[in-house]
């Protein structure tokens, strides 16, 4: 059954649900086909899985069981979201924890590409370059998730994310146990030519050398106690919040000192002193300070994502299933980012998301009232009409 089947009326092409889900059409065209492992047909196709998980995040369901109850008892969800004939608990959780990861990665990467092309780069950051804020976020896990062990008293997993600051959208993502090495993950999240923006946890002199060799730029906060061997000092504006700007070698000679020169900028804001290492010699010291300040965008994203899309209300227990859930949460956010930009020229915000949900439910109720209680015809949703309208 098509992802866009079981729609009450072809007029829904003009409605909000079509506008929101339209990017899926392109994402699914080249998507690998999900096949059953045995002779029994799939009870839930990948398209069903994608719909259900997107709906889970949009509607802020509190658990997998909550979602399954809604898929069975709510008319809109049962008709438009659930697989034809419904889905049993065992089949749903088995699918989430063991199938669809390859397809989910494909859809995420396609939507990320669509969002990058659709959402313009913020003009105020044009002189700063392609900035990727990098950070990890711990997920409190269940005791059954022994792979996620973080401390003896606390089981955790960690999501590592690169966040496109210029477009305010997630980019690359990876998942490890709670002790996953953030410094190793950083190279996977920032491509050559981009500038990674890091907190102190990513400070590593060897990485600073390697990143320069690889063409991966960086702006990374360092400890105030970091030893600096000054190669040459740069002039500092006495009226600026920047009090230090020098080309240095970081670390102790004959021990852990960097082999390549880099730049260290020191500045003070609201009584807090910051020391930042970078290979961006092309910028003013104040611009380097501004870039590090922009790292806060990923913290804001994580907070919004957790709170409003309920990404960390776990419905999976295996590393495989947890990655499925994380990717589906990112996919939902990308759909919202594209929708909010195209419909309102805005970034994602909770007021627009709530407005979106109200429209979807109001439109479904209106069409149901018009059609009456008779079973609706099965009509595929034709997105071509919306695409050219």
Based on the fold, state whether residues 289 and 321 are members of the same structural domain. no
- In angstroms, rounded to a whole number, what is the distance separating the alpha carbons of residues 303 and 292? 19
pLDDT in tens, 181-240: 677 888 889 999 999 999 998 999 999 999 999 999 999 999 999 999 999 999 999 999
Residue where a domain terminates, one of 294, 328, 353: 294
Residues 192, 211 contacting (CB under 8 angstroms): no
Residue 124 placed within a domain: no
- In angstroms, rounded to a whole number, what is the distance separating the alpha carbons of residues 379 and 4? 9
Of residues 19 and 379, the one with the higher pLDDT is 19
pLDDT in tens, 128-174: 999 999 998 887 654 444 444 444 444 467 889 999 999 999 999 88
Based on the fold, state whether residues 279 and 210 are members of the same structural domain. yes
Output the pLDDT for position 327. Answer: 92
Output the pLDDT for position 375. Answer: 40
Output the pLDDT for position 179. Answer: 65
Based on the fold, state whether residues 287 and 321 are members of the same structural domain. no
Residue 307 placed within a domain: no
Residue 187 placed within a domain: no
Residue 306 placed within a domain: no
Based on the fold, state whether residues 325 and 276 are members of the same structural domain. no
Residue 204 placed within a domain: yes
Per-position DSSP letters for 9-41, written without gaps between them: -GGGGGSHHHHHHHHHHHHHHTPPPP--SSSSP
Based on the fold, state whether residues 282 and 327 are members of the same structural domain. no
Residue 289 placed within a domain: yes
Of residues 61 and 345, the one with the higher pLDDT is 345
Residues 316, 325 contacting (CB under 8 angstroms): yes
Based on the fold, state whether residues 43 and 88 are members of the same structural domain. yes
pLDDT band for position 81 (cuts 50, 70, 90):
confident
Q: What are phi and psi of 347, to 5 degrees?
A: -75, 165
Q: Would you say residue 244 has pLDDT above 70? A: yes
Residue 126 placed within a domain: no
Q: Would you say residue 258 has pLDDT above 50? A: yes
Based on the fold, state whether residues 333 and 255 are members of the same structural domain. no
Q: Would you say residue 7 has pLDDT above 90? A: no
Based on the fold, state whether residues 259 and 323 are members of the same structural domain. no
Of residues 315 and 264, the one with the higher pLDDT is 264
Number of domains comprising the chain:
2
pLDDT band for position 380 (cuts 50, 70, 90):
very low
Domain that holds residue 253: 200-294
Q: What are phi and psi of 247, to 5 degrees?
A: -90, 125
**Mean pLDDT rounded to a whole number for the chain:** 84
Estimate the crossing angle of helix 46-58 against helix 89-98, to 10 degrees: 100
Based on the fold, state whether residues 215 and 270 are members of the same structural domain. yes
Based on the fold, state whether residues 282 and 370 are members of the same structural domain. no
Residue 172 placed within a domain: no
């Amino acid at each position: 059954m098509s992802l866009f089947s079981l729609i009450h009326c072809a007029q829904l092409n003009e409605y909000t649900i079509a506008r929101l889900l339209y990017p899926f059409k392109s994402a699914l065209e080249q998507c690998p086909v999900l096949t059953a492992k045995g002779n029994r047909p799939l009870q839930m196709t990948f398209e069903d899985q994608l719909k259900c998980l997107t709906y889970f995040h949009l509607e802020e369901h509190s658990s997998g069981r909550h979602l399954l109850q809604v898929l069975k008892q709510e008319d809109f969800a049962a008709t438009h979201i659930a697989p034809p004939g419904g889905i049993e608990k065992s089949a749903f959780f088995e699918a989430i924890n063991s199938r669809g990861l390859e397809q989910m990665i494909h859809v995420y990467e396609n939507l990320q590409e669509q969002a990058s092309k659709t959402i313009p780069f913020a003009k105020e950051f044009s002189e700063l370059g392609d900035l990727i804020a990098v950070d990890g976020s711990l997920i409190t896990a269940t005791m059954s998730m022994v792979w996620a062990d973080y401390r003896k008293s606390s089981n955790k997993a960690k999501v590592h994310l690169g966040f496109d600051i210029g477009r305010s959208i997630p980019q690359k993502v990876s998942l490890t146990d709670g002790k996953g090495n953030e410094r190793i993950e950083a190279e996977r999240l920032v491509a050559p030519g981009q500038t990674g923006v890091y907190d102190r946890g990513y400070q590593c002199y060897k990485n600073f050398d390697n990143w320069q060799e690889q063409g991966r730029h960086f702006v990374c906060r360092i400890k105030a106690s970091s030893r600096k061997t000054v190669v040459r000092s740069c002039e500092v504006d006495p009226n600026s919040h920047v009090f230090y700007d020098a080309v240095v070698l970081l670390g102790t000679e004959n021990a852990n000192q960097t082999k390549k020169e880099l730049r260290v900028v020191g500045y003070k804001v609201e009584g807090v002193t910051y020391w930042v290492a970078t290979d961006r010699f092309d910028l003013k010291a104040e611009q380097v300070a501004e870039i590090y300040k922009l790292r806060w965008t990923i913290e804001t994203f994580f907070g919004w994502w957790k709170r409003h899309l309920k990404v960390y209300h776990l419905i999976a227990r295996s590393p495989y299933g947890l990655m499925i859930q994380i990717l589906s949460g990112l996919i939902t956010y990308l759909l919202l980012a594209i929708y909010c930009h195209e419909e309102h020229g805005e970034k994602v915000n909770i007021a627009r998301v709530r407005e979106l949900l109200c429209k979807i439910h109001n439109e479904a109720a209106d069409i149901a009232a018009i059609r009456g209680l008779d079973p609706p015809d099965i009509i595929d949703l034709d997105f071509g009409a919306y695409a050219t309208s």
